[in-house]
Amino acid sequence: MLKSAVKRFGILTSGGDCPGLNAAIRGVAKAASGVFGMEIVGISNGYRGLIDGDARELSPDDFSGILTRGGTILGSSREKPFKEPDSDVKKDSEAGQDKPELIKENVSRLGLDALVVLGGNGTNTTAYLLAKEGLNVIGLPKTIDNDIWGTDVTFGFHSAVDIATESIDRLHSTAHSHNRVMVIELMGHKAGWLALYAGVAGGGDVILIPEIPYDAAAVARDIERRRSEGKQFSIVVVAEGAMSKDEAAMPKKERKRLRERMPYPSIGYRVAAEIQSATGMETRVTVLGYLQRGGTPSPYDRVLATSFGTAAAELLARGRFGRMVAMKDASVSSVPLSEVADRTKTIPFNHHMLDTARLVGTCFGDESL
């Protein structure tokens, strides 16, 4: 066995699940136990399990045969032990005891030298706050949204792109048969990476993302232009966080209120109604929902999650805490959690994929002819 700074650590998955979590758990665990001889404690249901002390020792049988399995063998929750930044109280409490204190007690009771947390923005922000409380924490970036600061890519993203692209392909053929406009709504509240990549991969005619507020008239004009060129159908890919130019100009609270009162179940339905009323074309909506997060990881994500997992084990062994494993310029490295916390990686306006999409004629709803 190689020398290791950590003898025993806890591992948890927190936030929305995604394909590749089990592959990453397996990567961490195989390297940590097989190469460095560490003991591993699996914590159930994210930070919730750390607060409740719900944990059990993992043996090699637990992390064998899980590479291709969707979801997470550890369970997940959206528990956030620290209050939101805009709250006056910084630490949440339970039965009179603050949750970070409960976590610290359980970490010590379980004899853990360190924690490995697999999650998105919220999870890695909590990881940073726990590190500030004196715990040894390492983060791993997972999410289908690909919106974690400090890494070029997160695991789960490419599997979701594959699923969404296949769905767009299937909509294409039926849109063509019926001369319809097909709106497909994909996940992505704050960032439109999934809509952009699946939209480009599936040849979406219109892609609406939170980073580029849209003008409903510009979208309708583009669909009519296609019709005048003999293309009787269109595919419109909408991220769930897409917003109109008017909404983007509003203060956040007002926009939220407006959305709550919107007479549509979600943004995809509103975009479809806007298109149908402006063009008179029959328009249908598909909301892909949780299908995007389920099932087996793609080969790309299996490889990425395995490399991220093994990199986390190496960070543990070297005692390099307070960091998140990351992909930077095609190499696996790590970044300080302090740089990741409270940030979101949205699509920059000069991103090459936006240029690519525009060069093949994709409309982002921002053109005023």
188 scored as a contact of ligand F6P (CB under 6 A): yes
Q: Are 171 and 140 in contact (CB under 8 A)?
A: no
Sheet containing strand 206-208, strands side by side:
206-208, 234-239, 181-186, 283-287
Out of 145, 162, 185, 314, which residue is the one contacting ligand F6P (CB under 6 A)? 145
Closest CA to 175 of 275, 289, 284, 278: 284
- Hey, what are 102's tokens? 């409960």
- Hey, what are 115's tokens? 């924690």
Burial of 89 (0-12, 13-18, 19+ CB in 10 A): exposed
User: Binding mask 289-328 vs ligand F6P (x if CB under 6 A, - otherwise)?
Assistant: ----x-----------------------------------
**Judged by CB, which is closer to ligand F6P: 232, or 296?**
296
162 scored as a contact of ligand F6P (CB under 6 A): no
At closest approach, how far in Å is the CB of 366 from ligand F6P? 22
Tell me whether residue 145 is one of the annotated catalytic residues: yes
Contact region for ligand F6P (CB under 6 A) — 26-34, 161-169, 183-191, 248-256? Answer: 183-191
Contact region for ligand F6P (CB under 6 A) — 143-151, 230-238, 263-271, 297-305? Answer: 143-151
159 scored as a contact of ligand F6P (CB under 6 A): no
Out of 14, 121, 126, 143, which residue is the one contacting ligand F6P (CB under 6 A)? 143
User: Binding mask 231-250 vs ligand F6P (x if CB under 6 A, - otherwise)?
Assistant: ---------x----------
Closest CA to 256 of 269, 268, 241, 239: 241
- Hey, what are 214's tokens? 């849209």
At closest approach, how far in Å is the CB of 128 from ligand F6P? 19
Q: Residue 43: helix, strand or coil by DSSP?
A: strand
- Cβ neighbours of residue 220 closer than 8 Å, sequence gap 6 or more: 274, 275, 278, 279
Given the residues 17, 145, 147, 162, the one annotated as active site: 145
Q: Which residues bind ligand F6P (CB under 6 A)?
A: 16, 120, 143-145, 187-189, 240, 293
